[in-house]
Amino acid sequence: MSFPDGFLWGAGTSAYQIEGHHGRGESVWDVFCRRPGAVEGGGDGSRACDSFVRWREDVELVKELGLRAYRFSTGWSRVMPDGVRPDPKALDHYERFADALLEAGAEPVLTLNHWDMPSALTGGWAERATVSAFAAYTEAVAGRLADRVTWWITQNEPWIIQLLGYQLGLHAPGVADLGTAVKAGHHVLLGHGAAADVLHAHPGVLAGSALSLFPCDPATDSEADRAAATGSDGYVNRWYLDPLLAGGYPADMREHWERALGHGLDFIQDGDEAAIGGRSDFLGVNYYTRRVMAAAPPGPFPWRVVGPSGDVARTDEGWEINAGALRDLLIGLSRRFPATPLMVTENGGVFGDTPAHDGQVHDNRRIAFLRDHVAAVGEAIDAGADVRGYLHWSLMDNFEWALGYRPRFGLVHVDYATGARTIKDSGRYYARLIAGGGAAPALPRIEAYG
Ligand code: FCB
């Protein structure tokens, strides 16, 4: 199994989830977290991992793990506190941070929108004007960092923004309206196009969007279940892949949305699809699990998630662990879009392990998860997929949005009361794996206590 030279082994985080407030502008997440019951446990990102202050420690962790890449986001509400004017001090910070990463031997992978939009941009993605605000923010960040950052992710997970932020109201800004959601999703994609155009004015920069991709499998071989899987794939995956990489929205899903909304999609204006497509230098793949689909009665969503059912391996969040689906996803994407390099920009799982009898975090299930998913990426590469990197989610435990601080995704444990970081066994395992070029190292031995 061969990972190419220069393969970007890394891990990721995002600004709101780790930085803490420290003088940034108010973001839509600050507002959303104040809603009673919006966040499990009632937390917010005001302190998080305190990374805005402890960033040097984070870079030390990157170095200690031997990461070749680190994905982070610039806080939109930190860079543009009022949504309009950039704060030079915030840009100074990210310049220092990118320099420190490069010095540590890690390629910075910079995300522009990891959900912490300034609350001053009223209406959020439901407003078309947000597209130009996002382009202006991109301009401010690129003006400072495009000379040292090659990999840029414009939008993180358009479907999740659309679904949780505007359709179900479970994420900021907490809107629950189907029509607004589809419109907002379109504006997010237009934002990708506008940001990519800004970035491409800088030589050598690579721009892509990170999509949350969920392979959709039919529960049975029946025609109805197979149609449900195709519909779900259109809803979750193709609605974003096709305008980014295949020239426009898929016809079957356009019809689906027109049926579901009871009217035409007039917010998709002439020229919009041309302004979204043809601008991705790579595709970011965020993969966590798959969806097993069955037919549902006619309605806005004639499909439903039914599985997998039964005894399958699951994370502590109940998500099926299925590395083979990642391999097949990467191979399928590379066959469909042979000109577009892929990067696994997120992959990980919730495993709640905390320090044990010896003060160490023996997160053996994360080790197995990591081993199997890295092997799956290797198999995809061997089968011809053009995969440039693997970024585990996450470098460290952090604020997991509406789920608060309970789910732990990190290679590094964070004690939220003190901010203390402890590299978990999985982090040490990953360091050995990276040092060996991707070959699976021996599993760690846990010494008995006493
Ligand atoms: C993704 C998000 C990321 C994190 C992981 C677990 O949807 O991009 O910030 O919450 O899920």
The pLDDT tens digits along the chain (450 residues) read 579 999 999 999 999 999 999 999 999 999 999 999 999 999 999 999 999 999 999 999 999 999 999 999 999 999 999 999 999 999 999 999 999 999 999 999 999 999 999 999 999 999 999 999 999 999 999 999 999 999 999 999 999 999 999 999 999 999 999 999 999 999 999 999 999 999 999 999 999 999 999 999 999 999 999 999 999 999 999 999 999 999 999 999 999 999 999 999 999 999 999 999 999 999 999 999 999 999 999 888 999 999 898 899 999 999 999 999 999 999 999 999 999 999 999 999 999 999 998 999 999 999 999 999 999 999 999 999 999 999 999 999 999 999 999 999 999 999 999 999 999 999 999 999 999 999 989 887 766 665
Task: Please say if 157 is a catalytic residue.
Answer: yes
Stated as kind and residue range, the H or E segment containing 152 is strand 151-156
Pick from 156, 346, 350, 411 the residue to mutate for probing ligand 1's pocket: most ligand atoms within 8 Å of its CB.
346
Backbone angles phi, psi at 335, to 5 degrees: -70, -40
Query: Which tokens is 107 given?
Result: 């390629």
Is any atom of ligand 1 closer than 6 Å to the C-beta of 14?
Answer: yes
Judge contact between 411 and 395, C-beta under 8 A. Answer: yes
Pick from 113, 157, 395 the residue to mutate for probing ligand 1's pocket: most ligand atoms within 8 Å of its CB.
157
CA 401 / ligand 1 centre spacing (Å): 8
Q: How many CB atoms lie within 10 A of CB 218?
A: 21
Backbone angles phi, psi at 168, to 5 degrees: -105, -15
The residue with tokens 């604020």 is 399
Query: Which phi-psi region, left, alpha or beta, contains residue 203 (left: φ > 0; alpha: ψ -120 to 50)?
Result: beta
CA 12 / ligand 1 centre spacing (Å): 10
Query: Which tokens is 275 given?
Result: 């302004």
Is any atom of ligand 1 closer than 6 Å to the C-beta of 159?
Answer: no
Is any atom of ligand 1 closer than 6 Å to the C-beta of 326?
Answer: no
Task: Provide the pLDDT for residue 178.
Answer: 98
Nearest protein Cα to ligand 1, atom 10:
400
Is any atom of ligand 1 closer than 6 Å to the C-beta of 156?
Answer: yes
Using the atom order of ligand 1, give the atom closest to the CA of residue 350.
6
CA 404 / ligand 1 centre spacing (Å): 12
Using the atom order of ligand 1, give the atom closest to the CA of residue 348.
6
Task: Find the catalytic residue in 19, 157, 273, 379.
Answer: 157
Task: Provide the pLDDT for residue 449.
Answer: 61
Task: Find the catalytic residue in 19, 107, 273, 346.
Answer: 346
Q: How many CB atoms lie within 10 A of CB 287?
A: 25
Using the atom order of ligand 1, give the atom closest to the CA of residue 17.
9
Task: Please say if 273 is a catalytic residue.
Answer: no
> What's the CA gap between 355 and 357, in Å, rounded?
7
Task: Provide the pLDDT for residue 444.
Answer: 79
> What's the CA gap between 347 and 342, in Å, rounded?
14
Task: Provide the pLDDT for residue 310.
Answer: 85
Task: Provide the pLDDT for residue 113.
Answer: 99
Query: Which tokens is 61 given?
Result: 């962790």
Judge contact between 107 and 68, C-beta under 8 A. Answer: yes
CA 24 / ligand 1 centre spacing (Å): 21
